[in-house]
Amino acid sequence: MLLALPFLTDELLGRGWVRILDFALLFIMLALGLNIVVGYAGLLDLGYVAFFAVGAYTYALLASPQLGLHLPFWIILPIGALIAGLFGALLGTPTLKLRGDYLAIVTLGFGEIIRIFLNNLNAPVNITNGAQGISQIDPISIADFYFSRSHEILGITFHSVHQHYYLFLALTLLVIFVSSRLQYSRIGRAWMAIREDEVAAAAMGINTRNIKLLAFVMGASFGGIAGGLFAGFQGFVSPESFSLMESIMILCMVVLGGMGNIGGVVLGGVLLVVLPEALRNGAGPAQQWLLGKTLIDPESLRLLFFGIALIAVMLWRPAGLWPSSTRRRELEAVDGVAQQEQDTVYDAKH
Amino acid sequence: MDILLQQIINGLVQGSVYALVALGYTMVYGILGLINFAHGEVVMVGAMIALAAIQVLLAAALSPLLVLLLSVLLAVAVCMALGYSIERIAYRPLRHAPRLAPLITAIGVSFVLQNLAMIIWGREYHSFPQLLPNASHHIGGAIITEVQITIVLIAILVMTGLMLLVHRTRLGRAMRAVAENQTSASLMGVNINKVISTTFMLGSALAAIAGIMVSANYGVVHYYMGFMLGLKAFTAAVLGGIGNLRGAMLGGVLLGLIESLGAGYMGALTGGILGSHYQDALAFVVLIAVLVFRPSGLLGERVSERA
């Protein structure tokens, strides 16, 4: 099913939709990375796109005429993950003693700082080429197999978007595998202990600082990998792809899908990439059909419906579309007890 | 020295606006522990409503001062209704839901308001008419306009009023009680839902005033103006210690000053390496630096001050 999907989409909806599928896979990787930070460790990160940006620019700088470097894809990707991880540590080290929403605003600020620097590091020394971004990035290739060219394998023509689909699918599956192994490992359980009660976790002998830092670094390196793939796939990066809006979208994927649950996060990623695109393609024609003319700018109509959908889904399923089983159990606990627990948590936080 | 003075004046004016918006964030956070992401959009709606009212009333040939007064009242009323509805629709059903659920609905509300505004008022910048006398005063080489003086004075007036309300009235006591502990407050006979609704309405009224101030100062209104302003104001609230009213005021004014001084001097201080386009980054760098040394903001520790 997953293997045939690009060809089915190609036949039924057109080549553009295969490209959207590719992006959906990239965003699933990002959402899974953020899920480690927000879903497992319970640290609200509103600047996650910074790590995506670091990965993308690492790839762009190491494989484009910008610095004249052309390293191969399979070397850059780990480097990108490593550098993104370093940035994760850079963000995490000074901020980990912050609680809850203070952390949220600091991460948000960090994301903006990275974007502003990418936007302005063209003077006095031109590193990132400023707002124009970096173009002519080398396409993804393994040995002599270029993912950007069409190949004929076993009588079937694979176009660029198809090949990227399989590459991204393989890596997404890898990320899913790593995430699920992490979840119930010693580290994963430590993350969840910290999420539920940091003081109790520390009392149980968990080194909360290092474990939280690890969540940041791991989440960041997933973001870095997705960023590298993004740069190679697009052939072009510019700061405007890494705005606060993207961080918010990725967070929405995690929370809307079901925080801490891999299936939920994947579902959230697919929905939030496909839904806006479907609305984009649907808003204009639907108006034509209903009213006979385009009365309202389809772009704003699309975002309007998207906002309504976000509110409606959260009101309908506050724990996300597909919540993790622990979280569901918490919610289904006897009302009075749940209320009391919440109050205690509230008191402890303030 | 006149540049320094000028930047301080600009910073104070911008800072008063930040402070008013930050108060809205901090009041809601103090009571619900929720980042009300849609608050910036309420500021924008306030400015838009005021603009629409001014256009209609000016056409009716009323005196400028009366026009301004009526449109401010209308904008405040509309925003209060908006704040009430947002809380009722998007936050109240989720009061006992997982912590991040209301954050996502807040983002959704922000999308809805922004795009509704774009559908109604379009993508273009609207110019905001000058209603106050356009005179300016020279103080030691710097210029301050009467609009700017009015902004600072009204901000001080409104904030004093709010402090009196929170610390001297029955309603204020109820607000502080709910912020302290919802369950205990309800056992003492405080109507929690009413208090929370009132808080949202108060915050939205401040947002409407701030929206009109910022439009009058820059002379333009735009559907996207609330987003960045809201973000900065939230930063200001955190800088001062979120949940703390005095902290929000201090944070707002400080952030305004930091930004305007940064824009004026950053290039000169770093030998031209970092120019004024790093202005937005500066605000966040300062925030991070402050939080590293004071993890709960500048005034964050005085818990009893929360409202």
Per-residue pLDDT of chain A (350 residues; tens, 9 = 90+): 666 676 677 667 777 788 888 889 999 999 999 999 988 888 888 889 999 999 999 988 888 777 777 777 788 888 989 999 999 998 888 877 787 778 888 898 889 888 888 888 776 677 777 777 787 777 777 766 776 666 666 766 667 777 788 888 989 999 999 989 988 899 888 988 888 888 888 888 888 888 899 999 999 999 999 999 998 888 888 888 888 888 988 998 898 888 888 999 999 999 888 888 888 777 667 777 776 666 677 777 888 888 898 899 889 888 888 877 766 565 555 444 444 445 444 444 44
Domains of chain A (ranges; CATH) run 5-260 (1.10.3470)
> What is the structure's pLDDT at A151?
66
Pairwise pLDDT comparison (A289 vs B143), residue with the higher score: B143
Pairwise pLDDT comparison (B39 vs A41), residue with the higher score: B39
On chain B, the residues whose CB falls within 8 A of the CB of A124 are 272-273
Maximum distance among all Cα pairs of chain B, rounded to whole angstroms: 62
For the cut 90, the answer to whether the pLDDT of residue B113 exceeds it is yes
Closest Cβ opposite residue B183 in set A99, A311, A343? A343
Mean pLDDT (chain B) is: 88
Is B108 within 8 Å of A106 when comparing Cβ atoms? no
For the cut 70, the answer to whether the pLDDT of residue B195 exceeds it is yes
Closest CA to A102 of B249, B282, B241, B293: B241
**Structural element, H or E, at residue A253:** helix A244-257
Q: Is the peptide bond before A124 cis (omega within 30 degrees of 0)?
A: yes
Is B104 within 8 Å of A108 when comparing Cβ atoms? no
Residue showing tokens 């001080």: B156
Chain A nearest C-alpha distance from B40 (Å): 15
Is A310 within 8 Å of B105 when comparing Cβ atoms? yes
Is B295 within 8 Å of A117 when comparing Cβ atoms? no
Arch. (CATH architecture) of B2-122+148-305? Orthogonal Bundle (1.10)
On chain B, the residues whose CB falls within 8 A of the CB of A307 are 107-112, 115
| C-beta separation of B106 from B38 below 8 A | yes
User: Which amino acid is it at A210?
Assistant: N
Distance between first and last Cα of chain B = 40
Helix (H, G, I), strand (E, B) or coil at B37: coil
B103, B242, B299, best to mutate vs chain A, most A CBs in 10 Å = B103
Integer-rounded Cα radius of gyration of chain B: 19
Is A113 within 8 Å of B285 when comparing Cβ atoms? yes
Is B104 within 8 Å of A256 when comparing Cβ atoms? yes
Is B108 within 8 Å of A309 when comparing Cβ atoms? yes
- B208 band by pLDDT with thresholds 50, 70 and 90: very high
Chain A nearest C-alpha distance from B104 (Å): 6
On chain A, the residues whose CB falls within 8 A of the CB of B100 are 38, 44, 251, 255, 259
- Tell me if chain A has a CB within 8 Å of the CB of B273: yes
Is A297 within 8 Å of B292 when comparing Cβ atoms? no
- Minimum CA–CA partner of B275 in chain A: A120
Least confident of B12-26, B39-53, B81-95, B285-299: B285-299
Chain B nearest C-alpha distance from A56 (Å): 21
Closest Cβ opposite residue A109 in set B108, B284, B303? B284
Residue showing tokens 């103006």: B225
Is B284 within 8 Å of A112 when comparing Cβ atoms? yes
Q: Residue A222 burial by CB count (10 A; 0-12/13-18/19+): exposed, middle or buried?
A: buried
On chain A, the residues whose CB falls within 8 A of the CB of B235 are 105, 109
pLDDT single digits (tens) B48-57: 999 999 999 8
- Minimum CA–CA partner of B297 in chain A: A102
Which B residues in the span 188-247 are in contact with A, Cβ-Cβ below 8 Å?
A: 231, 234-235, 238, 242-243
Pairwise pLDDT comparison (B188 vs A71), residue with the higher score: B188
Is A314 within 8 Å of B280 when comparing Cβ atoms? no
- Tell me if chain A has a CB within 8 Å of the CB of B121: no
Q: Where are the domains of chain B?
A: 2-122+148-305
> What is the structure's pLDDT at A144?
66
ipTM computed for the complex: 0.85
On chain A, the residues whose CB falls within 8 A of the CB of B183 are 339, 343
On chain B, the residues whose CB falls within 8 A of the CB of A308 are 108, 112
- Tell me if chain A has a CB within 8 Å of the CB of B61: no
- Tell me if chain A has a CB within 8 Å of the CB of B284: yes
Average pLDDT, stretch B243-249?
A: 91
Chain A nearest C-alpha distance from B116 (Å): 7
Kindly report the backbone phi and psi dihedral angles of residue A63, in degrees, each rounded to the nearest multiple of 5, phi listed first.
Answer: -145, 60
Instruction: State the angle between helix axes of B170-180 and B146-168 in degrees (0 to 180), rounded to the nearest 10.
Output: 80
DSSP bridge partners of A237: A134
Q: Which two tokens stand for residue A277?
A: 């695109």
Is B278 within 8 Å of A120 when comparing Cβ atoms? yes
Is B281 within 8 Å of A116 when comparing Cβ atoms? yes
Q: How far apart are CA B110 and CA B22, in angstroms?
A: 17
On chain B, the residues whose CB falls within 8 A of the CB of A314 are 94, 97, 101-102, 104-105, 108
- B38 band by pLDDT with thresholds 50, 70 and 90: very high
Closest Cβ opposite residue A116 in set B105, B278, B295? B278
